[in-house]
A and B are shown apart, each in its own frame.
Chain A
Amino acid sequence: MAVPATDTPRLTRVVEGRLLGGVAAGLARHLGLDPVVVRLALMALAVGGIGVAVYVALYFFVPTDPEEKEHGEADSRRKGRDLSQVVAYVGLGVGLGVLFLLFGGVFDPLLWFVVFGTLGGVILWQHANPSQRDEWMTSTVGGAGAKGVMRAGAGILLVVVGVIGFLVFQEQLQNARAGLTFAFTVLAGIALIVAPWIIGLIRERDQERRERIRNAERAELAAHIHDSVLHTLTLIQRRAEDPREVQRLARVQERALRSWLYQRPADADTTVSPALERVAAEVEEEHGVPIEVVCVGDCPMEDALTAMLRAAREAMVNASKYARTEDISVFGEVDQEEVLVFVRDRGTGFDMDDIPEDRMGVRGSILGRMERHGGSARIRTSPGEGTEVQLRMPRTSEA
């Protein structure tokens, strides 16, 4: 850890590179020593039992490094089964064992109650650590509450068992009873006084968090609206004298907003329905005639379907340019065996027999293109009746 000597880091528990609680590593960083030195020193102290006590105390009272937390987490988990960590645990165990011996042997139940109490304390303190509590709350949304309560319950139980057991085996319970009653009464009284305040604090905190999330959402929304909607509205005001342009702008904005609000997961490049919608959107933008697209079903793109979309596009362009209609309906249907696209307008229509020269596009880019790719096209039209182009393309691959 390359830390300039002038700038002594605050004493924090280190997450990255920790073996147990990150106490030794943090201490080493604080003191500018090699962690191994600190660990050895702690181990040495542990032989007398003091080391363990110091370690546990530091573990409780020294906070983890908040900045390091995020990126260090995964890493330290991965190192969880590291050999050196095992060694550290063994060291801690040995230290505890020494403590046991000092107090009079493994079979002294008294010690076990001390251990129980300590264990419960660890659990409760962990629980009380705000950063970790937040982590539980946020990472596991559903089970977090129950898990937290369970942990707290287990911790309290252990502490209570430890304390009462300790008293029982010291044969102090009788003497302590009066004191206990007193203590409990006082505690209960304090709890009554403090509880509403604590609950208020918790609520406030939750509220704050919700508010924060809401604000973030609002900011994003505001940014989006500013970038798109406000911009379009400005343009519309400037082009107010050109109704067609105004309508076009409004439609474009509407579509953009819709796709933003009701985002569809599908990708326009890989499946048919969104691709058809995109083609329609492009034609609409180019020619200013609203095109209403309804799609049923979806399937992956194929070469033949790409050709079909081109033909559909041609049909839409024709309808936009020549039909003199207010809007165009496009219906796409993906079947088990085939894909159908209908492009319909209620415009002027025309007589198939005397298609003007400049509209040979119908033959070439619609009929011809469909047939070349194994599909078919039908055009139903007559003057005054509008036009419907029906495209049919068999699917080659079953999805």
Chain B
Amino acid sequence: MRTPGRAGVPVAADVGRVHGVADESTGFSDGGAIPRVVIVDDHRLFRSGVRGELGDAVNVVGEAGDVDSAVHVIGEKQPDLVLLDVHLPGGGGVEVLRRVLPRHPQIRFLALSVSDAAEDVIGVVRGGARGYVTKTISGRELAAAIVRVADGDAVFSPRLAGFVLDAFSATDAPPVDPELDRLTQREREVLRHIARGYAYKEVAKELFISVKTVETHVSSVLRKLQLSNRHELSRWATARRLV
């Protein structure tokens, strides 16, 4: 999905907080098609709300209200991206990920939830979602996040960044796999800025690196978060049950 011409994509800013860059267009890759999206959420009102807010920014090709119908609709429509509610009847968003990803690894998932619980956030990201945003997000920000994730990048809200920093630092135990179990200094630095409420572009400016590099760092953190087997990670999430 990662188009070669990504350099031209305006940075739509980090999700969860984009106010300073409000005037920046949430535009899409110049040549890129509008992403085809399936919305999975058990609240019909919320689905239609999101649909309305997103407007023409994305092409909503389907909706589903529970795990089974979600799996069915996603398989049928083959969207670029699925907007996935964490709490769903029939096993939750994680279950959808578990059943869809092995068969359609090219489909990207962006998790959406009212919950800020660490367990939920970490759970769904480790399940394969490439980003996590809360439902209070504005339509414009959501559209930006969708484009970012559809393009193969990761979307970290400040809170998710905080969770990850916490999870990866909360140990003195030697890592099992240093490649996966530890964040590099640079990644940590990027995450700290995101946690402070900086948009990707602002992080780039702050650290004198390109936006592209910021994206690379975030994607790499995402990969570590998903692949690391450290049990501190899950233990941390359970121990911290909440926010």
Using CB atoms and an 8 Å cutoff, list the residues of chain A in contact with chain B: 258, 261-264, 292, 294-297, 325-327, 329, 331, 333, 342, 344, 346, 385-386, 388
A386 and B162 contact, CB distance less than 8 A: no
Interface check B143, CB cutoff 8 A: no
CB interface residues, B 111-141, toward A, < 8 Å: 115-117
CB-based nearest A residue for B162: A294
* Sample (30) of A-B pairs whose CB atoms are under 8 Å apart: A258-B116, A258-B243, A261-B242, A262-B115, A263-B241, A264-B240, A292-B16, A292-B158, A292-B159, A294-B162, A296-B162, A297-B166, A297-B170, A325-B19, A326-B19, A327-B19, A329-B17, A329-B197, A331-B158, A331-B162, A331-B195, A331-B197, A333-B195, A342-B197, A344-B196, A344-B198, A346-B17, A346-B20, A385-B20, A386-B20
Digit string of B194-223 for contact with A (CB within 8 Å is 1, else 0)? 011110000000000000000000000000
Interface size classification for chain B: 20 to 34
Contacts A296-B165, A333-B192, A344-B198 given; 12 further ones with Cβ under 8 A? A262-B117, A262-B241, A264-B242, A296-B166, A296-B169, A325-B19, A329-B17, A331-B192, A331-B195, A342-B196, A346-B197, A386-B20
**For residue A263, which residues in chain B have a CB less than 8 angstroms away from its CB?**
241-242
Are A329 and B243 touching (Cβ within 8 A)? Answer: no
Q: Do the beta carbons of A262 and B243 come within 8 Å of each other?
A: yes
Q: Which B residues are CB-close (under 8 A) to A344?
A: 196-198
B16 CB contacts on chain A under 8 angstroms: 292
SS class, residues of chain B in contact with chain A: loop
Q: Give chain A's interface secondary structure class.
A: mixed
Query: Once bound together, how far apart are the Cα atoms of A344 and B159, in whole Å?
Result: 15
In Å, the complex CA distance between A372 and B132 comes to 41
B177 → chain A, closest Cβ, in Å?
23
**Alpha-carbon gap, A102 to B20, bound state (A):** 100
**B2-29: which residues lie under 8 A (CB-CB) from chain A?**
16-17, 19-20
Instruction: Write out the residue numbers on chain B whose beta carbons fall within 8 Å of the beta carbon of A262.
Output: 115-117, 241-243
A297/B169 contact (C-beta < 8 A), A325-B19, A326-B19, A329-B158 known: yes
Picked from A258, A264, A295, A325, the residue with its CB within 8 Å of the CB of B162 is: A295
Residues of the B chain whose Cβ atoms lie less than 8 Å from the Cβ of A385 = 20
Asked if B190 lies at the interface with its beta carbon under 8 angstroms from chain A, I say: no
Smallest beta-carbon distance B118→chain A, Å: 9
A325 to B116, CA, bound (A): 23
Q: CB-CB < 8 A to B165: which residues of A? A: 296, 333
Q: Is B161 an interface residue (CB 8 A)?
A: yes
> Interface digits, B145-167 against A, CB 8 Å rule (1 contact, 0 not)?
00000000000001101100110
Give Cα distance in the complex from A277 to B67, angstroms.
35
> How many A-B residue pairs lie within 8 Å, measured between CB atoms?
64
Counting chain B CB atoms within 10 Å of each CB, the highest count among A292, A294, A342 belongs to A294
Pair A294/B242 contact, Cβ less than 8 Å: no
A346-B202 Cα distance, complex, nearest whole Å: 12
B242 touches A329 (CB 8 A): no
Q: Which residues of B contact A261 (CB under 8 A)?
A: 242
In the complex, what residues of B have CB within 8 A of residue A258's CB? 116, 242-243
Q: Is the CB of B17 within 8 A of A327?
A: yes
What is the minimal beta-carbon distance from A6 to any residue of chain B, in angstroms? 57
Q: In the complex, which of the residues B115, B161, B166, B198 has the most CB atoms of chain A within 10 Å of its own CB atom?
A: B166
Q: Across the interface, do A294 and B169 meet the contact criterion of CB distance under 8 Å?
A: no
Most buried by B among A258, A297, A346: A346
Q: Are B19 and A346 in contact (CB under 8 A)?
A: yes
Tell me the bound Cα distance from A262 to B169 in angstroms: 22
Min distance, Cβ B223 to any Cβ of chain A, angstroms? 21
CB distance from B170 to the nearest CB of A (A): 8
What chain B residues lie within 8 Å of A297 (beta carbons)?
Answer: 166, 169-170
Query: How many angstroms from the CA of A264 to the CA of B240 in the assembled complex?
Result: 7
Whole-angstrom distance between the Cβ of A26 and the nearest chain B Cβ: 47
Q: Pick the 10 closest A-B CB pairs, nearest first.
A: A262-B242, A329-B197, A294-B162, A346-B20, A331-B196, A346-B19, A296-B165, A342-B196, A296-B166, A331-B195
For the complex, give the distance between the alpha carbons of A113 and B195 in Å: 76
Cα distance, A297 to B116, chains bound together (Å): 17
A294 and B165 CA atoms in complex are apart in Å by 11
Q: How far is the CA of A264 from the CA of B195 in the complex (A)?
A: 20
With a cutoff of 8 Å between Cβ atoms, the chain A residues found around residue B169 in the complex are 296-297
Chain A residues, CB < 8 A from B192:
331, 333
- In the docked arrangement, what's the CA distance between A388 and B195, Å? 13
Contacts of A386 in B (CB 8 A): 20
Give every chain B residue within 8 A of A331 (Cβ-Cβ): 158, 162, 192, 195-197
Closest CB in chain A relative to B236 CB, distance in Å? 12
A294 touches B17 (CB 8 A): no
Interface residue from B196, B241, B242 paired with A388 (Cβ < 8 Å):
B196
In the assembled complex, the CB of A224 is this many whole angstroms from the nearest CB of chain B, namely 16
Q: How far is the CB of B44 from chain A (nearest CB, A)?
A: 21
When distances are taken between beta carbons in the complex, the residues of chain A under 8 Å from B196 are: 329, 331, 342, 344, 388
The distance in angstroms between the C-alpha atoms of A262 and B159, with both chains bound, is: 15
Among B116, B162, B240, chain A packs the most CB atoms within 10 A around the CB of: B162
**Which B residues are in CB contact (< 8 Å) with A295?**
162
User: Whole-angstrom distance from the CB of A294 to the nearest CB of chain B?
Assistant: 4
For B17, the chain A residues whose CB sits under 8 A away are 292, 327, 329, 346
Interface contact B158-A264, CB-CB below 8 Å: no
A386 vs B162: C-alpha distance when bound (angstroms)? 22
Q: Are B158 and A296 in contact (CB under 8 A)?
A: no
A294/B161 in contact, CB under 8 A = yes
Return B171 CB to nearest CB of chain A, in Å: 12
